[in-house]
Amino acid sequence: MPITDNKNYPFSFSMIDITKIDPSPYQHRKYFDENSLRELGASILRDGLIEPVIVQPQKKGRFQLIAGERRLRAIKDHTNMTMIQAKIADVDDLQARRISAAENLLREDLSAIESIEATIEIIDVEMGKEPEYLTVGKTPLERVHKLLSKLDSIRRSKERGSVVSELEKDLSNKYVGQVESIFKNLPKPLKWQSFLMHDLILLTDIPSIVQTASVKHGLNKAQTKALARLEQVSAKVFHDVTKKDSIPFKDQNNNLSPKLKLKEFSAREIQTFAEDLEKTNKKNDQKKDTLQQEFSTEIKAALMTRLGIPHVRIAQRLNIHRETISKYAPKNDEFFNKIHQDFKSGSCIPDIAQKYVVPQPLVWSVILQEKTDQERFKDLNWGLRTWDNWYFNDVDHRFGDDWPGRIPAQLVAHTLFYFTKENDLVFDPMAGGGVVADTCLAFNRRCWSFDLLDRIKTRPEIEPFLWDPENLAWPVPAGKKPDLIFFDPPYFKKMAEHYMKGSISDFSKAKYLKFFKDLFSLMREHSKPSTRIAFLNADFRDFQSIPAFDEDPENAILLLEYAKLLENCGWKITHLIDCPLSTERFTGNMVSKMQGKRTLGIIRRTLIIGKPNILHKNDAMQD
């Protein structure tokens, strides 16, 4: 007679033949350690099967495994047992999937990735009762990701006082309660907003090779993120570390520490190892740069041509004849074919770049040329966000130089995806480390870049130009109007000592805002009706060691002021996109001191998107 246990499904116990048990279609575990299975098999032979596997009856006397694959594998591979006790659950496929996910989530040895996948399974099963929900994506991850992202976007819009459509209100009212209930009743309760921001990114933003290693070595979330940083710094060292299951960590006396398993290293230790490796790589690269001096003229011309810079400007910049550039074209085509062949043969991007002495973004440009934007995101291992919160744990070190205030290439790529199309012209007035130009290369956008510092040897595409606040001028011919102006200026007073002399970061507040007022007006004057401006900045408040209540607003510049300036200068704001700064810069000691003084720090950073306001007076926007 079937009974019902605390999971509220009918079941019975029976001895069954292990050859009649089929694998579970709901098993997400990717790695089974053979030594561990051998030990488990020995334990089962010695003590018996303490916890029966759970199965679902099928046709012709067969059973389908619901939970217990590791136990079943250990029995099949490392014992001579043919019959085992099983809990036979009289459930449908939906209930079986729910039981499998819940049982997985309760396992003590579950890795972070497996835990997130099991949580997704439970959410997807519960939400799958709603037909409308099933239409938002093809996979459980895609459906859960899109639903939570949309709900979070609506929530933040309400908090900001932004207009929320009736459709969005209905969506929120319909699903928020259900989602909160599901998360509250998980085997390990969670807040859905935290799951979206801190857990799902391990599946959407971290390469699958890192996810697989994380599962194999049983890493937690923080360790997995740190391991992803290591993979980004050096694919070769990542491969060695994950293969050997250890890090060659040195103590303060430069002696190798006793060998520990990878999961025994803290996230901070893995992160430190990656950062030290990156510093070493940079030093080595600097030595190589000193030896090779600069890219060849042919490579410089190829790079600038792919960015859509006119031959007349290339000729002036490289001090060569325009006909010379045309003569390079056949050689470049042959060179690009070699890059394609090397890539198809299995060479990785850094090795190709080193082999031909070219910048990595140029190699990416060639490899991704025939791809769609969405395929480019996938090939670059970047998750594509469909909501207005673009948070990234770190910059992508493949794009842009090490530079004060360096921004993630992922942020630039999202801006290109939503507000431009292929071959559009992007204008970068303060290019800094060249992240925008590098990302435009990968996404087949033209890009004209300008900056104070002239780096003709390694950054020929960034033309030297001074935005003189006393005599602002436009650096390109009046007829060349951009499709997008990506404006990421030095922030007020932040890292001013790291910028070269003359940077606007060290202006007084009045001069800083006056500069933006004049430049916003100049940008609009040289824009088309369809041009978009993407202005990235953050609040400035003089909060250091000051209680939030005692801050002087006269010493602050909030994003609201930039927004007002844009609108007063003829721009119509269309989107406000949150691009928060990382909280990792606030160490535990800093946080403790800030709490003691009631100091409120800043992580908010916003990308303001605008278009020319055709109703604004003094309209001068003829193509």
How far is the C-alpha of 500 from the C-alpha of 358, rounded, in Å? 27
| Cα–Cα distances in angstroms (integers) from residue 397 to residues 242, 299, 375, 445, 446, in the given order | 21, 21, 20, 20, 21
Do residues 267 and 395 both lie within one domain? no
- Would you say 135 and 225 are in contact if contact means Cβ atoms under 8 Å apart? no
CA dihedral 146, 148, 154, 155 (to 10 degrees): -160
pLDDT bin (cut points 50, 70, 90) of residue 620 is: very low
Residues 579 and 454 in one domain: yes
Of 58, 91, 110, which closes a domain?
Answer: 110
3-state secondary structure string, 235-299?
Answer: HHHHHHHHHHCCCCCECCCCCECCCCCHHHCCHHHHHHHHHHHHHHHHHHHHHHHHHHCCCCHHH
Mean pLDDT of 275-296: 68
Here the CATH number for the domain that contains residue 105 is: 3.90.1530.10
Give me the percent of the chain exceeding a pLDDT of 70.
89
Confidence class for position 440, pLDDT limits 50, 70, 90? very high
Say whether pLDDT at 555 is over 90.
no
Cβ 496 vs Cβ 503: under 8 Å? yes
* 288 and 375 belong to one structural domain: no
**pTM value > 0.75:** no
CATH of the domain at 507: 3.40.50.150
Q: What local confidence, expressed as pLDDT, does residue 119 receive?
A: 87
- 231-270 tens-digit pLDDT: 888 888 898 888 888 888 665 555 566 678 888 888 888 8
At 73-120, the pLDDT tens digits run 888 888 888 888 888 888 887 778 777 777 766 665 678 888 888 888
Q: Does any domain span residue 541?
A: yes
- In this structure, the answer to whether residues 100 and 5 fall within a common structural domain is yes
Q: Which residue has the higher pLDDT, 268 or 478?
A: 268
Higher pLDDT, 553 or 425: 425
Domain count, the chain: 3
Q: Is residue 415 part of a domain?
A: yes
Which pLDDT does position 281 carry in this prediction?
77
Q: Residue 299: what residue type? A: I
Alpha carbon of residue 106 to chain centroid: 29
Higher pLDDT, 605 or 3: 605
The answer as to whether 80 is a domain residue is yes
Lowest-pLDDT range of 295-299, 574-578, 619-623: 619-623
Same-domain check for residues 437 and 580: yes
Q: Which tens digits make up the pLDDT trace of 253-262?
A: 555 666 788 8
Sheet holding 571-578, edge to edge: 462-464, 446-451, 425-428, 484-487, 532-538, 605-612, 571-578
Helix (H, G, I), strand (E, B) or coil at 606: strand
Phi, psi at residue 55, to the nearest 5°? -130, 160
pLDDT, tens digit, 9 for 90 and up, residues 153-189 = 888 888 877 788 888 888 888 889 989 988 888 877 8
Tell me the H-state helices in 48-138. 69-78, 93-105, 112-127
Same domain, 499 and 394: yes
Whole-number average pLDDT of the chain: 85
Do 460 and 594 reside in the same domain of the chain? yes
The answer to whether position 383 is within a domain reads yes
Tell me the pLDDT tens digit for each residue of 325-343: 988 888 888 999 999 999 9
- Choose among 190, 263, 168, 186: nearest CA to 222: 263
pLDDT in tens, 345-366: 988 888 899 889 899 999 999 9
According to the model, what pLDDT value does residue 289 have?
A: 47
Give Cα 579 to chain centroid, integer Å.
11
Q: Are 525 and 612 in contact (CB under 8 A)?
A: no
Q: How much is the average pLDDT of 215-227? A: 88
Q: Residue 441 pLDDT more than 50?
A: yes
How many angstroms from the chain centroid is the CA of residue 597? 34
Q: Is residue 466 part of a domain?
A: yes
Lowest mean pLDDT, pick from 92-96, 143-147, 383-387, 611-615: 92-96
Choosing from 234, 262, 292, the residue where a domain stops is 292
Among 28-42, 115-129, 139-153, the range of highest mean pLDDT: 139-153
* Nearest partner of 436 among 467, 421, 456, 414, judged by Cα: 414
Range of the domain at 221: 206-292
Do 287 and 382 belong together in one domain?
no
Q: CA-CA distance, 373 to 413, in Å (whole number)?
A: 9
Mean pLDDT of 195-202: 88
- Report the distance separating Cα 157 and Cα 484, nearest Å: 25
Distance between CA 275 and CA 387 in Å, rounded?
Answer: 31
pLDDT band at 121 (very low <50, low <70, confident <90, very high): confident
Lowest mean pLDDT among 16-30, 46-60, 417-431, 556-570: 16-30
Residue at a domain's end among 81, 110, 139:
110
3-state secondary structure of 217: helix
What's the pLDDT score for residue 321?
92
Q: Is residue 347 part of a domain?
A: no
pLDDT at 426: 97
Q: What is the pLDDT of residue 503?
A: 63
Evaluated on CA atoms 134, 135, 137, 139, the torsion sign reads positive
Answer yes or no: is 561 within a domain: yes
Nearest to 26 by CA among 60, 65, 57: 65
164 lies in a domain?
Answer: no
Task: Identify whether the C-beta of residue 463 lies closer than 8 Å to the C-beta of residue 450.
Answer: yes
Same domain as 518, residue 430: yes
Whether 478 shows a pLDDT value over 90: the answer reads no
